[in-house]
Amino acid sequence: MRIVSGIQPTGNLHLGNYLGAIRNWVKMQDAAAAAGDDCLFFLADLHAITVYNDPAALASNIRQMAAALIACGIDPAKSILFRQAMVPAHAELCWLLNGTARIGWLNRMTQFKEKSGKNREGASVGLFAYPVLQAADVLLYNATHVPVGDDQKQHLELARDIAIKFNADYGVELFTLPDPYIGATAARIMSLRDGTAKMSKSDPSDMSRINLTDDADTVLQKVRKAKTDPEPLPSEPAGLEGRPEAKNLVGIFAALSDGTSEQVLARFAGQGFGAFKPALAELMVETLGPIKARLDDLGRDPAALDVILANGAERAAAIAKPTLTAAYAALGL
């Protein structure tokens, strides 16, 4: 089994990014390592440039994301961690596959329709061809399993269609057809100020989110000031309906303790937030404290991060090379 997954580089990482995305990678990595499977994780920095990004901000986000992944538990000894842009085979294979991908197939991609909106003519070619690069990302490594959320299932289908057509057109059995990998379901974490809005780096209020870089006092203060209601906690999750802030805090407690809302409520039923909040803050600090400490270490030693990314790129490129060479040859190049 070979798992390949990418994530767009983003800065100012918060608890939502950790519980909703990064932690699932760590779980996948650890399960794969135990089973003797391969994991390749990359920062999708070539995908990031399909819309305009300020270059200095992008460079900073790439480093922040790489550091956060390592701090959160992506272990270069267990996984191959690299940046897409540092392995030119991604861009090369994408171009080779552009001869096989059909405009009609890409026209059906709902994500492009959503992202381009009414301004289809003004969207970049890169945004349109985005799923072809995704196909290259996984076909390059003969990925067998690709973790996908609902919004990405269509792109994985497209990668399979491209692989099937390429293999058939050129009479080769080059590309492995990747299957979706269903890992742990991702938590969805809401704002601490508004239980109906997603926790996000774009929220202007820093009190709305717990950043991975927040120290213990800040976490404590943010949790203490988190919006709640005056009712005590119910004994069943059904009692949280219509109470989005309470539901969110219980959900965060459950995610951090790797349990369920039922288990959290069994412990706190009948208690008010005066009792629940300090326990939640303590749990956050327990999880985020070591992450922040590793982030601080990596921040003090940027060269160490460069070495990790360079090694990852080298290992990824070595796996990609035979596939890329065979693709050129199949095409008569």
DSSP structure string for 1-19: -EEEEEE---SS-BHHHII
Query: Bridge-partner residues for 211, per DSSP?
Result: 14
Integer-rounded Cα radius of gyration of the chain: 22
Q: Are 298 and 67 in contact (CB under 8 A)?
A: yes
- What are the two backbone dihedrals, phi and then psi, of residue 2, each rounded to the nearest 5 degrees? -130, 120
CA 198 – CA 186 distance, rounded (Å): 13
The answer to whether residue 147 forms part of the interface with ligand ADP (CB under 6 A) is no
For 307, residues 6+ apart whose C-beta sits below 8 A from its C-beta are: none
Closest separation between CB of residue 217 and ligand ADP, Å? 23
For 105, residues 6+ apart whose C-beta sits below 8 A from its C-beta are: 158, 161
Q: Is 27 annotated as a binding residue?
A: no
**For ligand ADP, the closer CB: 136 or 189:** 189
As given in the structure block, the two tokens for residue 116 are 């381009």
Out of 27, 115, 165, 227, pick the active-site residue.
115
**For ligand ADP, the closer CB: 21 or 298:** 21
Q: Are 186 and 21 in contact (CB under 8 A)?
A: yes
CA 260 – CA 263 distance, rounded (Å): 5
CA 63 – CA 83 distance, rounded (Å): 10
Closest separation between CB of residue 326 and ligand ADP, Å? 32
Q: Which of 202, 300, 332, 333 binds ligand ADP (CB under 6 A)?
A: 202
Q: Are 205 and 213 in contact (CB under 8 A)?
A: no
Out of 165, 198, 227, 247, pick the active-site residue.
198
Q: Which of 3, 5, 20, 93 binds ligand ADP (CB under 6 A)?
A: 20
- Under rule CB under 6 A, how many of the chain's residues touch ligand ADP? 14
Please say if 222 is a catalytic residue: no
**For ligand ADP, the closer CB: 226 or 320:** 226
Please say if 115 is a catalytic residue: yes
* The pairing of beta strand 145-147 with beta strand 179-181: parallel
The answer to whether residue 152 forms part of the interface with ligand ADP (CB under 6 A) is no
Please say if 292 is a catalytic residue: no
Q: Which of 136, 199, 250, 291 binds ligand ADP (CB under 6 A)?
A: 199
Q: Which of 44, 146, 189, 288 binds ligand ADP (CB under 6 A)?
A: 189
Closest separation between CB of residue 17 and ligand ADP, Å? 4
The answer to whether residue 16 forms part of the interface with ligand ADP (CB under 6 A) is yes
For 10, residues 6+ apart whose C-beta sits below 8 A from its C-beta are: 17, 61, 64, 65, 201
Closest-approach residue to ligand ADP (CB): 20
The answer to whether residue 201 forms part of the interface with ligand ADP (CB under 6 A) is yes
User: How many residues comprise the chain?
Assistant: 333
Q: Which of 78, 198, 227, 243 binds ligand ADP (CB under 6 A)?
A: 198
The answer to whether residue 74 forms part of the interface with ligand ADP (CB under 6 A) is no
Q: Is 200 annotated as a binding residue?
A: yes
Q: Is 296 annotated as a binding residue?
A: no
Residues interacting with ligand ADP, by CB under 6 A?
A: 10, 16-17, 20-21, 186-189, 198-202
The residues annotated with a catalytic role in the active site are: 115, 198, 201
